Structure 1
């Protein structure tokens, strides 16, 4: 009986000690989906180039950077392959010295000015370029009587892209970012893959599903690159990426108990 009671007491003490252990605070992460200011030639469905030459656009950008600075990220992760970190380091250092003329992409127009404002030493490259062969999907659909499914995908993706183009023309830059990071728009973008691309294929052939699997794999590698970049002292991270990546990245970080995913609308307030 004494041994039994002793065992129970020790178990109680152990559980009490574990319960008293302080838990590490979660890392806040802001996943900021972006349109490409200079549209990528690799994207099938593109937004229009954003005109950054006038004073109004620059004022809007400055206002958005000011709002993002309130989030105070310890790191800014950008859509540049990890292998190009030295190139980004060099450009950013030149920018800090006033020896670099900003280009028209979102990294130059958002990441660099924000990093400078926050006195960050670097801008972190975390991109991973995986396989994405849409031509194989198109070829299969045309050769296997699935042109109707291909046409449905094209209509939906085209309509989604057109909605973003319309928002570009009607909204301020901050409101555009709020729009493309809304739940509805992120779901539409993800549905191009989950609701349409996966329908292309029959029997033992899964060309559409394989395309989606490769897209998930690409984003999983990006997620891993972000995890690898995090330092023990980091309390908050901002990820600036094409908004098509955000739904998957958001799911991955929301499923990781070490992170607290911050809503873009809570940072970019109206």
Structure 2
């Protein structure tokens, strides 16, 4: 028996609601999403917050009010599921330090704007797709779409294309190296101290779905599924 890890790719609630409050229909669909995830019966919850902030997360988790909407998926999904399933603490597993020579994604995009219209078309289409889902009133349906293989593979294809950009590797490889390092550190943190019967839910931005799934499956030590897989199997 292997530990099970459920990846839940999500929109970022603080971006959706930075200038407004959620509608009743959104909150109703949030309860549907929470109910589905709770039926997984998790033993561990991991969230996309830097590991160095674990002490603050512990304090916030103790103060968490399930009747409040925090506009933050780590709280509104992660904390809620933790309390619902009597989980003692929520694990912060992200890493966001800047490595030397990490020059961001802007150099690659600036080069592509002048030299690779195909990449820019893919980037624009993907940005529009995520913007549309960011305005979705039904967060349960949005989560299903984000975690569908056809959609999360588009994210990964964009990173693969980015690797080819630039007059030299210096334009894109620094950022991609940082991106892969970040996700590998997350995998190391997610999988630490698991038992054979552990059931982990990872709440994370949708852009991480493919790479986390790929890295987690690479060892052969875990059963890995996405939210879409979970709903299909129920």
TM-score bracket for this pair, using the shorter chain length: 0.7 to 0.9
TM-score of the superposed pair, with normalisation by structure 1? 0.76
Kindly indicate whether residue 178 of structure 2 is the aligned counterpart of residue 199 of structure 1. no
The aligned counterpart of 1:251 is 214
The aligned counterpart of 2:5 is 29
Give, in angstroms, the shift of residue 101 of structure 1.
4.8
Give, in angstroms, the shift of residue 129 of structure 1.
0.9
Give, in angstroms, the shift of residue 163 of structure 1.
1.5
2:185 to 218, 221, 224: 221
Describe the shift of the 1:35–1:167 C-alpha distance in structure 2 as closer, same or farther (beyond 3 A): closer
Describe the shift of the 1:218–1:247 C-alpha distance in structure 2 as closer, same or farther (beyond 3 A): same
The total of aligned residue pairs comes to: 228
Secondary structure of 2:223 counterpart: strand
Tell me: higher relative CO, structure 1 or 2? Use CA pairs within 8 A at least 6 residues apart: 2
Kindly indicate whether residue 126 of structure 2 is the aligned counterpart of residue 160 of structure 1. yes
Contact 2:9 2:143 (8 Å CA) reproduced? yes
Give, in angstroms, the shift of residue 227 of structure 1.
2.0
Describe the shift of the 1:170–1:242 C-alpha distance in structure 2 as closer, same or farther (beyond 3 A): closer
Contact 2:50 2:95 (8 Å CA) reproduced? yes
The aligned counterpart of 2:90 is 123
Larger radius of gyration: 1
Measure the CA separation in 1 of the matches of 2:227 and 2:92: 21
How do 1:1-40 and structure 2 match up within 5 A? 25-39=1-15
The aligned counterpart of 2:23 is 54
The aligned counterpart of 2:42 is 73
Instruction: Give the CA RMSD over aligned residues.
Output: 2.5
Give, in angstroms, the shift of residue 215 of structure 1.
1.3
Measure the CA separation in 1 of the matches of 2:230 and 2:179: 28
Measure the CA separation in 2 of the matches of 1:266 and 1:134: 31
Unaligned runs of 5+ in 2: none
The aligned counterpart of 2:59 is 90
Give, in angstroms, the shift of residue 168 of structure 1.
4.3
Measure the CA separation in 2 of the matches of 1:193 and 1:49: 28
Moved more, 71-80 or 184-193: 184-193
Kindly indicate whether residue 142 of structure 2 is the aligned counterpart of residue 176 of structure 1. yes
TM-score of the superposed pair, with normalisation by structure 2? 0.86
The aligned counterpart of 1:211 is 175
Secondary structure of 1:119 counterpart: coil
Unaligned runs of 5+ in 1: 1-24, 40-47
2:105 to 126, 130, 134: 134
Give, in angstroms, the shift of residue 189 of structure 1.
0.9
Give, in angstroms, the shift of residue 238 of structure 1.
0.6
Contact 2:30 2:138 (8 Å CA) reproduced? no
Contact 2:4 2:197 (8 Å CA) reproduced? no
